[in-house]
Amino acid sequence: MATPQELHSLPAHGLRVSSAGQREAITWQVPEEVAVGLAYNKRPHVVMMATPADLEDFAYGFSLTEGLVQDIADVTDLERLDVPEGVQLSLTVREGALTKRINDKRGIEGRSGCGLCGISTLTAAMRPVQEVSSLRAIPAASAIMAAYRALPEFQPMNRANRTVHAAALCDIDGNILLCREDVGRHNALDKLIGAALRADLLVQDCFVAMSSRCSYELVAKCAAAGIRTLATISAPTALALNSAHAAGMTLAACAGGSDVAIFSPGEALQLAAAG
């Protein structure tokens, strides 16, 4: 069994008060959250707030999904330095491989709940979503439901603290291949994509299931990795849906029960029985 340290959870002592006024001392496990700085070729780029687990995966995934590199093979070295203020991740990128997005100014830290914090212009924030190949298969509703039924078993941190988000990479039948957790949904997805690419998994043949709502930034990150289908626990925002359709992506919402809402480009909303 994993220890609280391995689950990046810390004890918090409090008081439970019932509606009848009864009081009881309690100890809850709460997730760690630290400042994580990313620097490229010795140049600081951004500071994100994240759970201090799988940060090497995070560095690779963030670099790709934020369009800072086109291929993680261009990252030739990664150094982690734990300091009193948090964690510093220093990436060395092959000369000429850093894209112009590295110059997009980030004036403040990236908070754990936000995928756009620190971007200083609307143009930088609302970049075009990369088109995804239409040759990749779309999972059946039954596969999406299967992934969500299995997801709790892949969330050890959330079992301890009931606070963090999960992002899972699933094969076309709904079997979970990898899962990553973080207090930030964007961070969890970056960690997942980074881990999958480092393991040489063909993410284009998989779909992603997440424990969070669906927003534009999650769509953009999946599209950057070539993932055609993203499933979340609630319907997408209008911007997320329009961006997904423009990219050729399919979105699915699975909030429980026996139905999955599927949003595919050029098609009306379908309610597909899990069957």
Per-residue pLDDT of 206-217, as tens digits, reads 999 999 999 899
CA distances from 271 to 138, 212, 253, 263, 267 (A): 15, 20, 10, 9, 12
Neighbours of 190 (CB within 10 A): 30
Give per-residue pLDDT as tens, 38-81.
999 999 999 999 999 999 999 999 999 999 999 999 999 999 99
Number of domains into which the chain is organized:
2
What tokens does 231 get?
Answer: 């499933």
- Same domain (yes/no): 166, 264: yes
| Residue 125 pLDDT level (bands cut at 50, 70, 90) | very low
Are 147 and 258 in a shared domain?
yes
Q: Is residue 4 part of a domain?
A: no
CATH of the domain at 246: 3.40.140.10
List, by residue number, the catalytic residues: 114
Q: How many CB atoms lie within 10 A of CB 28?
A: 15
| 81 inside domain | yes
Which of these three, 125, 149, 182, is where a domain ends?
Answer: 125
Burial (CB < 10 A; 0-12, 13-18, 19+), residue 242, is middle
Strand partners of residue 25:
15
**Confidence at 273, pLDDT banded by 50, 70, 90:** very low
45: in domain: yes
- Share of the chain residues as helix, strand and coil, in percent rounded to the nearest 5: 30, 30, 40
In a domain, residue 2? The reply is: no
